[in-house]
Amino acid sequence: MAKSRRQFLRIVGSTAVIAAAGTAGFIATRTPETALAPWSQAGSGYTDPRKRALSFAVLAPNPHNQQPWLVTLEGQDSFTLSYDLDQMLPHTDPFNRQIVIGLGCFLELMRMAAASDGYRADVTLFPEGEPEPVLDGRPIARVTLVKDGSVAASPLFAEVFNRRSNKEPFDMSKPVAREDMSSIVGVVGDGAITGTIHDQGSIETLKDLSWRAHLIEVETPRTYMESVDVMRFGKSEINANPDGIDLGGAFLEALNMAGILTREELSDMTSTAYAQGIDMYRDIIWSAMGYVYVATATNTRRDQIASGRDWIRMNLKANQLGIAIHPLSQALQEYPEMDALLTELHETLGQQGSRVQMFARVGYGPALSPSPRWPIDAKIT
């Protein structure tokens, strides 16, 4: 955040903000401990193996950190995974494809956690049929945990507490080795289509495409406001609602208190806050040191779940290698203004006729704090 912080201070020039953000007492009290507690509590204090596995699953990546999952415990060893229809993203994800991928991430982390305790997770996907064209209340999966001594723990599970989606500028002096990119996509399941982009010409082409896709999202009022509406500003708001996009920490909270970084300012597409947000993301997009992706031959709900399971393994593998990874969802979204770039991305990647499900930049980035989470008990109906 150091570079972004300097950039913002050049724009706002507020000595009050500088003073507030630099006060030791203010800094020390701005961490939203309640919202971050699920990261330290995962796996602790649960006698029910389902709750123990699910306490890790809530740490899964998901679009806009909406955490849509809902769980119903059944009997002594089973549960049903469903979702909260109020946590959808109808403008940028009108067919709920990204939400389903996030639910696939949830299922895979649950499976890994159960395996680490010697349980096999028997998963029946879409027991009442695949909900199409949008999620309609029918469940995602029914799961039974079975004690099984032959189940092996995944070495990737050791990375669960350190996993991040790194949305910061990457170090452009450090290239990512081709073999490391191959290792990242090498953890996907059978039947997936994967690819790595490491030649400089293609990287520059995809930087430009990613930037144009970002501009479409933030310059289209309804898609931009979908992000603004789920932003959480400062410690109190993040603790009260540990989903959505968190804008916390001493510096950002000081900007919020000074009236510079507020929902109202960001909603105004003529404001300094809006313009500076675009400038900050330019540094992020243009610092990509390579790309990885996973695609499927078709685009069924089962494909989307499988892609989520693949994505969390890719994320964990990147972390194991010390490589930062950041999913770029904009050009994969399905609304009219993005249609041309959705087609262009598939053509650029040579995936016409397939469906690219996840596309991400890779590089070396700064260490980050985890994202806020609801605890599993808040998600059990």
129 by Cβ neighbours in 10 Å (0-12 / 13-18 / 19+) ranks as: exposed
| Measured CA distances, 41 to 45, 229, 240, 312, 316 (Å) | 8, 29, 18, 20, 19
343 Cβ contact list (under 8 Å, min separation 6):
none
> With helix as H, strand as E and coil as C, how does 38-70 read?
HHHHCCCCCCCHHHHHHHHHCCCCCHHHCCCEE
pLDDT at 250: 87
The pTM assigned to this predicted structure is 0.93
Q: Is-contact 69 58, C-beta < 8 A? A: yes
pLDDT tens digit sequence for 11-41: 454 555 445 555 656 556 889 999 999 999 9
Q: Tell me how far apart the alpha carbons of residues 205 and 75 are, in angstroms, rounded to a whole number.
A: 53
Q: Is 138 helix (H, G, I), strand (E, B) or coil?
A: coil
Q: Is 244 helix (H, G, I), strand (E, B) or coil?
A: coil
Under DSSP, the state recorded for 177 is P
Could you identify the residue written with the tokens 């972004």?
4
Q: Tell me how far apart the alpha carbons of residues 122 and 174 are, in angstroms, rounded to a whole number.
A: 42
Count CA atoms closer than 13 A to 218's CA, side-chain side. Answer: 21
pLDDT at 3: 47
Q: Tell me how far apart the alpha carbons of residues 279 and 135 are, in angstroms, rounded to a whole number.
A: 35
Q: Tell me how far apart the alpha carbons of residues 258 and 149 are, in angstroms, rounded to a whole number.
A: 58
Under DSSP, the state recorded for 176 is P
Q: Which two tokens stand for residue 247?
A: 């804008």
pLDDT at 25: 64
Stated as kind and residue range, the H or E segment containing 361 is strand 355-363
Beta-bridged to residue 143, according to DSSP, are 79, 123
pLDDT at 335: 98
Helix axis angle, 49-57 to 97-116, nearest 10°: 130
CA 355 to mean position of chain CA atoms: 19
pLDDT at 9: 46
Q: Per-residue pLDDT for the chain (381 aa), expressed as one digit of tens each?
A: 444 444 444 445 455 544 555 565 655 688 999 999 999 999 999 999 999 999 999 999 999 999 999 999 999 999 999 999 999 999 999 999 999 999 999 999 999 999 999 999 999 999 999 999 999 999 999 999 999 999 999 999 999 999 999 999 999 999 999 999 999 999 999 999 999 999 999 999 999 999 999 999 999 999 999 999 999 999 999 999 999 999 999 889 999 999 999 999 999 999 999 999 999 999 999 999 999 999 999 999 999 999 999 999 999 999 999 999 999 999 999 999 999 999 999 999 999 999 999 999 999 999 999 999 999 999 999
| Measured CA distances, 303 to 78, 103, 107 (Å) | 24, 12, 14
Question: Considering the chain, what is the average pLDDT of its residues?
Answer: 94
Q: Tell me how far apart the alpha carbons of residues 297 and 306 are, in angstroms, rounded to a whole number.
A: 12
Sign of torsion over alpha carbons 99, 100, 106, 109? negative
Under DSSP, the state recorded for 332 is G
Q: Is-contact 123 53, C-beta < 8 A? A: no
Q: Is-contact 323 176, C-beta < 8 A? A: yes
Q: How many CB atoms lie within 10 A of CB 127?
A: 11
Q: Tell me how far apart the alpha carbons of residues 48 and 279 are, in angstroms, rounded to a whole number.
A: 48
pLDDT at 360: 98
